[in-house]
Amino acid sequence: MTGSDRYLSVARAGVHEIEVRRSRFLCALAPVDSADAAREEIARRRRAEPGARHHCHAFVLEPDGRTQRSSDDGEPAGTAGTPMLEVLRRRELTDTVAVVTRYFGGVLLGAGGLIRAYGQAVAEAIDVVGVTEYRRLRLVEVAVDYGRAGRLENDLRSSPYLVHDTWFDDNAHFEIGLGTGQGEPFHGWLADLTGGEAVARDRGERWVRADSATRPG
């Protein structure tokens, strides 16, 4: 996919419909984290649209996209699942399943028409639901007293460091996501800003949704 420390997936689950020569193509997209989750989504779409003849699918899994599966589900070989999978690969998406349900409209589309229609259904659905980035970051929990919390929060949110989470008990806590090479500069920056009074604790590496940063309250 996009690299060893980042990948792209769909931003949310959603369904988008197109019509091609009276055939209806309903593309359902969903973020998934395993083959079992992808298969459950495929089964869910079959239950949701029991009157359709075809429920073709494609999914890509793992940050490097190593797991890839597709099915034509009764359409001519190579006309549905393969073009669907190709769209996911071209958009560099992983941890994503696409299910296209087709209702035949009475007009034969031919192999070329089917390939274009199934690919178009997935591409348009991606445009509708959107894409989000995940980054592999080292999380650091920072605790400070309330007297320093306001300034620290303001400075963190204008800094290059990702504020992944915040919570409050006896102290104010900020969970910060650090990319490669940011660790040492961050700890120096934090010490200077708080006079060395902030307590920082390493919480290990994790895949983090890049747009999941908390917002000022």
Encode pLDDT of 80-115 as tens digits: 999 999 999 999 999 999 999 999 988 888 999 999
What domains lie within the chain, and their CATH numbers?
Answer: 6-129 (3.30.230.30), 136-209 (3.30.70.240)
pLDDT at position 214 is: 47
pLDDT at position 86 is: 97
pLDDT at position 5 is: 86
Tokens for 187, please give them.
């700890």
Mean pLDDT of the region 152-169: 91
Q: What is the pTM of this model?
A: 0.81
Distance CA 8, CA 78 (A): 25
**Which residue type occupies 84?**
M
Q: In this model, does residue 164 exceed pLDDT 70?
A: yes
Between the alpha carbon of residue 115 and those of residues 7, 77, 78, 131, 164, the distances in Å are 27, 10, 8, 23, 41
Which regions of the chain does DSSP assign to beta strands (E)? 6-10, 14-20, 23-31, 54-61, 67-71, 96-103, 131-144, 162-168, 172-178, 199-209
Contact 109/117 with Cβ under 8 angstroms? yes
pLDDT at position 212 is: 61
**Other C-beta atoms within 10 Å of 182: how many?**
19
Distance CA 163, CA 150 (A): 14
pLDDT at position 2 is: 57
Point out which residues pair with 101 in neighbouring strands: 26, 55
- Cα atoms in the Cβ-side hemisphere of radius 13 Å centred on 41: 25
> For residue 213, what pLDDT band results from cuts at 50, 70 and 90?
low
Q: In this model, does residue 216 exceed pLDDT 50?
A: no
Per-residue pLDDT reduced to its tens digit, 170-181: 999 999 999 888
Q: In this model, does residue 215 exceed pLDDT 80?
A: no
Share of the chain above pLDDT 70, in %: 96
Distance CA 64, CA 92 (A): 10
pLDDT at position 148 is: 86
pLDDT at position 3 is: 57
pLDDT at position 209 is: 86
Distance CA 11, CA 22 (A): 30
Distance CA 191, CA 201 (A): 13
Distance CA 121, CA 27 (A): 6
